[in-house]
Chain A
């Protein structure tokens, strides 16, 4: 039974780490737009030539 005296504080510490990581993510605008980034990996990385912008 004494093991919980160790395990629970560990779990709480991990919880603290999780909350900190989440706050960090929110503050670094990881949650501002939940729709757009999902599409980024779907496209193939064809190089975009910068000369192609017609003026």
Chain B
């Protein structure tokens, strides 16, 4: 690790390196005292190996929190599951648990604490299960130990222990493996039978192999394929035919036909085909499932957004209680920089509230006593007191969560060509089969069954049914390698059709930054000022602080002492003996100058203002490339933002976007998306943040950015795991290529079937040849699908060539 970044958390270190931590006998530079403490404590525990094993830097150490309130009985009842007198279990969602090395570190460090029986760490789900003795160890001790390591623990409620998620993924894995093993066996039996056709197999041996095929295929059909049958049953009950119906029908028919073959004899069996079919479908589903689980669920987001503890006034003192113990009318104190625990009315004093997570408004808004505060918003200059009005499920935040759930469930399912065609096809094949059987039983009853089955098999909807999952699976895998996670497979298909992109602004298109030209220095030189600022912001990970440090790269290095963070307001410290403060203007209570840009940062000493840094918004990396590429394809972009019109106009002009909507609440954004959709546009919405979540749910394609909040991920169909928006260009190219391949697959399947079914219906195709034809057809479909993503990026020629959607086939 280079000396310019913190040894523990990877944040930038200052040029002059004032803080050194001793780890494994070497002096390593760290960015802040918290990181120093964490690194040295880890070393002290003999766990210095962590730094060799980890694959991602740790979280920056925040101020130490007080966890003692977790020992309150009311909270304990909710979160701790008692297993025996001396055993209790708690599940903790751990913020900052990023890689396997973290899991290792936590496990090793906590195992040493007396009173802990066992520790289970799951890096994937970011959960730690602590099995402890409540008599010897308090929950708060365990939590503070986690916090001391540099992680932020959020205990989850006890009923999440056996999560739905775990059961779902376990069942999927079992089904997949059974299908895989079954397919291999069935193939083996089938090869023997195929070989027997040419080598004149002994009839008794043939019977034997048929029974074996039946034996291995039965678990695959009855166990592994269950989700398809269930899905088909659900579709049938809701009278909404979709992909599961033809799939289930095909599986059932092929299986039943083969079953007749085994019990009645006389024609070929297709157990290998049905197994392979099920296996391919399950692989596709499994990949989608994993991607969905990786994108964190709503619970995670809520756990972090809503504080679990609150300071309630009881008599003259404030007592820390759990949020769900609050009742309407209670008076609660909220510290500076903390989140508001419940909806309520501000009693005093006057303060500013950061609602950016909820409304997208990037500035902190002033609130007068008597005005309403929303749970989950941050108090910028506190402490304040508020009277609780609504808690838990009645809060605005909970309402937003409900909106998310509803919007997600109401997401329009664009009628999928694939589904419709496959369903149609299955119906037609069934008709042709029945007609063939009837016709032959009229002329020659002994040939009726083989001919009918030939039709069924030669026309096997495999090629049709595989056309979608094969192409989808490949596209999803290709995109995952490039940092685009497809959570909802439907989203890809829709992405190819999108003709309107809507962007959220704050945190999506733009990030806060500074322009050197926009710094007003009143005293001293620019370089010196930047040096002081860099020293003061040293170790701070706030985006603004990072932007300031980037500016100050060439400034003379200085060291700040007695640094004090004032959450939400600024920082205070001594540089070369002089006391400086840096922060929002009203941090100093200076009411001078123009009142408009009150979110500018000001550097001041005891004599007054030294310099003013106007915050401006800088486009994120890749944004301009993305917008240009979309506009070159004739796709209109627009901005839907909760921010004030002036900023939105500025950013829109900078990016060359003409359509924009400012000061929009989530409801307005949803309405705008609705209008667009009613006009016949297919809309993609790209955003992050809690406030975007309902809006994302209402778009045709929802795309969330990886470093946005977890809630947005939960409703998004596509997730950009890196912050680079230009990955979307590639994602779009791959999605379109996938649609092209899909169409090719379909056309091939159709052409093949049109050519072969009549021949089979007239009885010219023996079933074994039908099976080979069908397999070859399926393989062709798969090979074609594997071509997706071969070219590094799809070229514009192909993109434009495929735009007119060819409605060639029905």
Contacts and interface: CB of A to CB of B under 8 A. Distances in A.
Interface of A: 1, 4-5, 8, 12, 15, 18-19, 22-23, 26-27, 31-36, 38-40, 42-44, 46-50, 52-55
Interface stretch (B98-106, B319-327, B447-455): B98-106
Contact of B185 (A15, A33, A54): A15
Contact of B178 (A4, A5, A19, A53): A19
A25 B29 CA distance: 44
Given A5-B208, A26-B174, A50-B113, A33 B122 contact: yes
B635 interface: no
B46 A39 contact: no
A31 B170 contact: yes
Interface string B163-179: 00010011001100110
B112 A48 contact: yes
A19 B45 contact: no
A31 B46 CA distance: 29
B123 A33 contact: yes
B516 interface: no
Contacts of A12: 185, 212, 215-216
B181 interface: yes
Nearest to B141: A55
Q: Which 8 A-B pairs have the closest CB atoms?
A: A48-B112, A36-B103, A46-B46, A33-B122, A36-B100, A50-B112, A39-B100, A35-B100
Given A19-B181, A50-B114, A33 B124 contact: yes
Contact of A36 (B109, B121, B205, B208): B121
Q: Which of B41, B46, B101 has the most CB of A within 10 A?
A: B46
B230 interface: no
B111 interface: yes
B108 A48 contact: yes
Given A43-B104, A53-B45, 18 more contacts: A12-B212, A19-B177, A22-B177, A26-B170, A26-B173, A32-B166, A35-B124, A39-B101, A39-B104, A40-B104, A43-B49, A44-B49, A48-B45, A48-B47, A48-B108, A48-B109, A48-B112, A50-B113
B186 to A, nearest CB: 11
Contacts of B101: 39
A13 to B, nearest CB: 11
A27 B170 contact: yes
Contacts of A22: 174, 177
Nearest to A49: B112
B107 to A, nearest CB: 8
B181 A36 contact: no
A42 B53 contact: yes
Contacts of A39: 53, 100-101, 103-104
Given A36-B104, A36-B121, A39-B53, A31 B212 contact: no
A15 B220 CA distance: 13
A36 B123 contact: yes
Given A8-B212, A12-B216, A53 B104 contact: no
Contacts of B108: 43, 48
Contacts of A43: 49, 53, 104, 108
B158 interface: no
12 contacts: A26-B170, A32-B122, A33-B121, A36-B123, A39-B53, A39-B103, A39-B104, A42-B53, A43-B104, A43-B108, A49-B112, A52-B44
A50 to B, nearest CB: 5
Contacts of A27: 170
A48 B208 CA distance: 61
A34 B122 CA distance: 9
B196 to A, nearest CB: 12
B145 A53 contact: yes
Nearest to B145: A53
A38 B100 contact: yes
Contacts of B177: 19, 22
Contacts of B216: 12, 15
Nearest to B215: A12
A54 B99 CA distance: 25
Contacts of A36: 100, 103-104, 121-124
A46 B48 CA distance: 11
Contacts of A15: 181, 185, 216
Contacts of B166: 32
Contacts of B208: 5
Given A26-B170, A39-B100, A53 B53 contact: no
Contacts of B53: 39, 42-43
Contacts of A49: 112
A29 to B, nearest CB: 8
Contacts of B169: 32
A46 B166 CA distance: 33
Contacts of A54: 41, 148
Nearest to A9: B212
B181 A18 contact: yes
Nearest to A47: B46
A46 B208 CA distance: 59
A22 B223 CA distance: 15
Contacts of B205: 1, 4
Contacts of A19: 177-178, 181
B141 A23 contact: no
Contacts of B125: 33
Contacts of B112: 48-50, 52-53
Interface in B280-335: none
A41 to B, nearest CB: 11
A47 B170 CA distance: 35
Contacts of A44: 49
Interface in B32-62: 41, 44-47, 49, 53
A37 to B, nearest CB: 8
Nearest to B41: A54
Contacts of A33: 103, 121-125
B45 A52 contact: yes
Nearest to B111: A48
Nearest to B166: A32
Contacts of A47: 46
A32 B162 CA distance: 12
A40 B124 CA distance: 16
Nearest to B202: A1
A33 B141 CA distance: 26
A15 to B, nearest CB: 6
A30 B177 CA distance: 14
Interface string B149-193: 000000000000000001001100110011001000100000000
Contacts of B212: 8, 12
B791 to A, nearest CB: 32
A48 B46 CA distance: 7
A54 to B, nearest CB: 7
Contacts of B114: 50
A53 B125 CA distance: 26
A6 B99 CA distance: 49
A38 to B, nearest CB: 7
A50 B46 CA distance: 12
Nearest to B101: A39
A27 B170 CA distance: 7
Most buried by A among B100, B113, B173, B215: B100
Nearest to A34: B124
A2 B642 CA distance: 78
Given A12-B215, A36-B104, A23 B111 contact: no
Contact of A23 (B45, B122, B145, B174): B174
Contacts of B124: 32-36
Interface string B198-214: 00001001001000100
A35 B123 contact: yes
A53 to B, nearest CB: 5
B443 to A, nearest CB: 40
